[in-house]
Structures are given as structure tokens and as C-alpha cells.
Amino acid sequence: MEENQKQQQFLVSSVSELTSSSSSLFSKTEPVFARFSLDSGLPELRFGQGAELSDAVVFNVKISQLFKLGPVESLCVSEANKEKSHSRGISIQFRNEEESRAFHCAFEQWKKEVVVEECSLNNGAVSTSKSKFDDKIEASSAKMYFHYYGQLLHQQNMLQDFVRTGTYYSAVIENRADFLGRIVVDVGAGSGILSLFAAQAGAKHVYAIEASEMADYARQLIAGNPSLNDRITVIKGKVEDVELPEKADILISEPMGTLLVNERMLESYVIARDRFLVQNGKMFPGVGRIHMAPFSDEYLYMEIANKATFWQQQNYFGVDLTPLHGSAYQGYFSQPVVDAFDSRLLVAPAVSHVINFSSVKEEDLYEIDVPLRFLSTVSTRIHGLACWFDVLFNGSTVQRWLTTAPGAPTTHWYQLRCVLPQPLYVMPGQEITGRLHLVAHKAQSYTIYLTLSALVGDMLQTSSVKLDLKEPYYRMSQPQSYSAAQDQNPSQLLQSDMQFPSRDDDGSILMQPPSPNELHSL
């Protein structure tokens, strides 16, 4: 339950006392509302009429039970407690099955609501009711994250990424056989667009789980599509906390961040898999790959290095700034660069790290260690490591890739480059080795440790850098024009042109890269 979600309201057809006469408790001329709230400090369910529900019948959710009597009828029973020596039951009639399902899901969420007053534990005991998400993520980071994705302008930015949205649409509609008559869970549903795609493909029912305020907008959008809305239920909450009335045949989600793993939503996707997906159920997408290659870009290197020249001033209003120049220099290089670059800046074929969403463990995503080995194709200075990713929708009918590779149509993810503070000199055919080490942190991102080495004669060159994926340098929105003035030989080194298949740690081939035709079809 979100901290700022103090109430949740449903419109019901009628509420009747559970007696022999089953008389209605409220006037039939006015709408009857069921409202969950924390107004009294405890999770309560109030039934009444009017904005204030002044004539409300009140149930303490903590000591109440909800039973389904039929598709649109349920029974709510309040257990006896210290104040009451008897229980009370009422019959609730809903307007349709969807609203009945949504009410039952909400009831289970509010029943689990942890109230501050109840968390006062003796002798410093620790409550075990804290969300797993809250254990991993700083509250301030989560607040900003959900605030960001709760705004329509940011959802619009993603929807207008036509490579992203169009690929998802094609992957779903072209694999209609996977969705027809199936139960689908949309993890981190946002605006609800993927839920609507799944419903268009014939899903029996879609549960759209969204923790931010965007859940309310998703309900509006889905309600405005009457041919689909009776098969979609929006559930406001985190996948780590919510309960569903049934298992899913398919999970669909857009959990990818910069460098695939930024924002750590992949972990929530995996948790949703373990909690909600039937055995051998499908995941859209099902596989992700991070691709890495060394690059040479004198312009970018000088641009970053020159940012710190401000701190070389020895007489800035009478103050010597040079003591901070070294720290400022390191600070600028600690920012990964997010932009779209020309693929001809790559100086070796890429290597890949594969993450199978269907089998990876959540804990495997806490720390990702990738050994690096390249063979240079040119004589040049290496300025760092370029990274991009792709994901596979492994449908029964069509396999479709969504790629963020340089040279492919630009997406809102762009590409990412880690720039070394000290470049390396290499010759054609020279081996470049190193390590890319990602360590998750509580600000919903990763610390990146990059080391590259190259042997020149008898001297080993090594350059290392520590970067914070949470604090990138957003450089530009379109690929920089390639210039031969950088003393580089043009070389097409896209993943699609490589002769080296992706391999697991044991050396076994995992899958071939997408063909040029697959890339162009996106």
C-alpha cells in the first residue's frame, strides 16, 4: 500500500444485513459506496451513501473476512472482539464481476496494511511485516521513482518511443495464440498500455499491477476502452506485496532501464514470476542481453576532461581552486554517458552478457560480473566501454527482438558509454582484457567498476574507473556525426554483424544474435 494512499473507494449495487429478511441497509435511490481508509489509524471498510458516508456501517478490516458467494455477490463478516461479543455479517452486491474481483484484491491488500501504531514493538524487536522492496530500496529513492512514473508526461515520453511501443505491440499481437484465453499479469503496468495490448490479443483476464499514482490514470484509460475494460483489473501496489486471485499464464512487463538493469525493476519482474506465474508460463520479454565493446572518441574524452578545467584556476576571486581539481576530474568521469553514438566509433566486436528472465534468481541481479576480452581492429586510443542491450519476446508464433544497438533506430534508452580517465593505446589485432562489475545499491541503481588493460611491448597499460549508473550524463538525443578527423578507420561492428555467438560462463552457446533483417524490422 502506498504511503500516500489513505483511502480507496468502490461503487456497489447494494448492501444488505445478513438476516432472514436480508433488508437493504441503504436507500435504493442513491449510490452506495464501499470505502477503505486509515482515518482512525486502523484499516477500516465503510459502507454508506453520500460524500461523507455519515451513515456508514464500519468494519475493522484486520478482524474481518470476505467470502465470495457468487460472481457478483460477496459476504463480509466481522469477527467478535473485545468491544463486541458477537460477529456481524453483510451481503454485498456488485455491479459486475470485474468490480467484484477488484474489491476482493483491495480487501486483501488493506488487510495486510501495517499501521504505524501497531509497529511499536517491545525490547527493540524488529517487525517482519516490512515489504521486501522496502528492505532493499531507500525510501527517498522509491518516493522519487514512483513520483516520476506517476506523471503522464513521462508516460507519454515512453509511449512516443515508437520502437519500444511498436515492438511490444507486434510481439503481443503476432503471438495471439499465446494470449488467447490466458490469464496475464502486467508487472509495473504504468499507463496500462501493455494490458490493453494483451486484451486486444484475446487474454481472458489481465491484472495490471502498478504502485505509482499512474494506477488511477490507467483505470481511466482502460475504462475509456469499453470493448476491453471488462477483462482488465488494475491493482494499485507493489508486486512484492499484492495478492492475486489466480495464477498467470503469461507475465508482460517493460522492466528495462539504462544498461538494462538500471532502476532495479528486473528484480520485481523476477519476484512476480516466482509469485504469480504458473510453471512453464511465458514471460514477455523472456531474455535480455547486455552488449559491450571498446570505443574511441577523442571529442567525448576531451569534452569530459575539459569540464574540470574550472577547478584549475589559481586566482578565482583571490581563491586557489586547484586543491579540488583532482576530485572534480574524477567526479566528471564517474558519470556514465547516455547518448546515441555512431557505431563506427567501436574498435572491436562486442561481447555479450545474457540474463534469462525465466530462470535467473533475484539475488543474481544484486551483483553482475562480466569478464571482458576483445581483439582490436584498428590502431587507436581506447577511451572506454560502450554498452547497449536488447530483449527477446520468444513467442510461439514469432520471435521478436527489441534492440537499443547503435545504428538501429534510436530509443529513449539511447546507448551508454563508460569513459576511462586514462585512455589505452592499441594496435590492430591486439588483445584487450578487463572486467565490468555491477553492484546494486539502495538508490535503485548500480555502481559500475570498469577495468580495461592492453599490453604494449613489455608494458601493461591498465585504466580503471568507478561510475554511478544513478547519475548519468545525458549528452544528446541523436547520434553524433562521425568524423574521420578522429584518426579512426570506419568499421561496422554492430552486434548483428558479428561472428561470435553469445556464450555462457561454461562456454556453451546460448543464442545467436539477431540477424540484420530482424534489426531492420524493428
Catalytic residues: 254, 263
Provide CB contacts within 8 A for 353, sequence distance 6+: 289, 290, 292, 368, 370
Strands 380-394 and 287-295: antiparallel
What's the DSSP call for residue 311? G
Burial 345-362 (b: 16+ CB within 10 A, else e): bbbbbbbbbbbbbeebeb
Residues contacting 248, CB < 8 A, separation 6+: 183, 184, 185, 207, 276, 277, 278, 281
Task: Fill in the amino acid letter for 276.
Answer: F
Picking from 401, 378, 324, the residue whose alpha carbon sits closest to that of residue 492 is 378
Alpha helices, DSSP H only, in 69-150? 97-111, 132-136, 139-149
Q: Which three cell numbers stand for residue 302?
A: 576531451
Three cell numbers, residue 61: 478490516
Cα three-residue angle 198-200-202, rounded to 5 degrees: 75
Strand partners, 384: 295, 419
Q: Kindly report the backbone phi and psi dihedral angles of residue 297, in degrees, each rounded to the nearest multiple of 5, phi listed first.
A: -150, 90
CA-CA distance, 244 to 414, in Å (whole number)?
35
Residue 478 DSSP one-character state: S
CB 170 within 8 A of CB 518: no
- Residues composing the chain: 522
Q: Report the distance separating Cα 337 and Cα 415, nearest Å.
A: 8
- Measured CA angle at 141 (ends 328, 7), to 5 deg: 160
Q: Report the C-alpha gap between 274 and 277 in whole angstroms.
A: 6
Cα pseudo-dihedral 258, 414, 201, 243, rounded to 10: 20
Cα separation, 52 vs 44, whole angstroms:
14
- DSSP structure class, residue 36: E
Rounded Cα gap, residues 120 and 132, in angstroms: 20
User: SS3 for 399?
Assistant: strand
Q: Look up residue 366 and give its three cell numbers.
A: 544484486
Burial of 261 (0-12, 13-18, 19+ CB in 10 A): buried
- Amino acid residing at 286: G
Cα 346 from chain centre: 29
454, 461 contact by CB (below 8 A):
yes
